[in-house]
Homo-oligomer: A and B are copies of this chain.
């Protein structure tokens, strides 16, 4: 398989001479504190960050249709759409109660940079859900070539406005913007996406409670719990280590006492590891990368991947989303599986509303 070969060639060269690590540790003296690299061999961490380049030769859009092969599958389908609707309706009831009781409603400020089709759809869905739930919503848009300061100023306006209890910066941001710098401007108590380093640290550390759990991993675990999937003591494998999906998902599963392995694009023979998983979560955005042969019989498969493909026939956006998992194959092996669309996606939106309501509840000490 191309992925395997590619990864091994990268890794083997790494194994041979540790070339990459050493060279990068040498090359960053000017970036890292000078002393550190004179005394220690360890490089600065940013200097050894690598892009996760996943192979996508296995893309076969027709295979990824959740409709075409549904009748042949054996796995039970996790209906994220329906559960998300239930949750949103409960949030709506709670928002109404808050309005009646204290005359306030939760408010969510969203910042959107650029015109990525998928980002536009996500933001549209979030607006729609907020309207359903009675949550105040404000969208601030910027063009692709805006400056970091413009975005930070917008965040600070939301930080200062007491009628907004949650702030969300739709990711990914254009390359020229420093995501970390921008996210850390967010007031911690309004970081309903849970991407602030402080929230991530509190998610990771036992005995701590983050103010907000990132929406997508929170939605995944909520689905697992509602379908009676025990997590404690189970082998969970997370494919991908993005700051918004893979990392927080692995941390949250650990807090739930799973034995977690994180597979990256540099993992040789990832399928050998995923095949051991009782719970398999994939969030890399490579259509059909996870084949049936990657799945342990009876495993629970949660597909967080979303990849937009042109399809004028399917909906008004002119494209549809497909996942990381080759649904046709995996649904014949797994015991439970989330479809794309209609699985984790709607739950992410529902969790965003929950976090925004939670933030307002906390602020007003509303019980």
Give A residues with C-beta under 8 Å from B. Answer: 7, 10-12, 14-15, 18, 20-21, 25, 33-36, 38-42, 44-46, 48-50, 87, 90-91, 94, 179-180, 196-210, 213, 218, 221-222, 225-226, 228, 230-234, 241-243, 247, 251-252, 254-257, 259-264, 266-268, 273, 354, 357-358, 361-362, 366-367
A354 and B40 in contact, given A230-B14, A260-B262 (Cβ under 8 angstroms): yes
Copies of this chain per assembly = 2
The A interface is mostly helix, strand or loop, or mixed, namely helix
Is A39 a contact partner of B354 (Cβ separation < 8 A)? Answer: yes
| CB <8 Å contact, A268 and B48 | no
Decide: B180 and A208 in contact? CB cutoff 8 A: yes
Tell whether A251 pairs with B204 under 8 Å between CB atoms, given A259-B273, A358-B36: yes
**Interface pair A204/B200, CB less than 8 Å apart:** yes
CA distance A299 to B18 in the complex (A): 17
Complexed CA–CA distance, A231 and B44 (Å): 15
A205-B226 contact, Cβ under 8 Å, with A233-B266, A262-B259: no
B228 pairs with A18, CB closer than 8 A: yes
> Which of the listed residues A42, A209, A354, A366 has the most CB atoms from chain B within 10 Å of its own CB?
A42
> Once bound together, how far apart are the Cα atoms of A350 and B260, in whole Å?
31
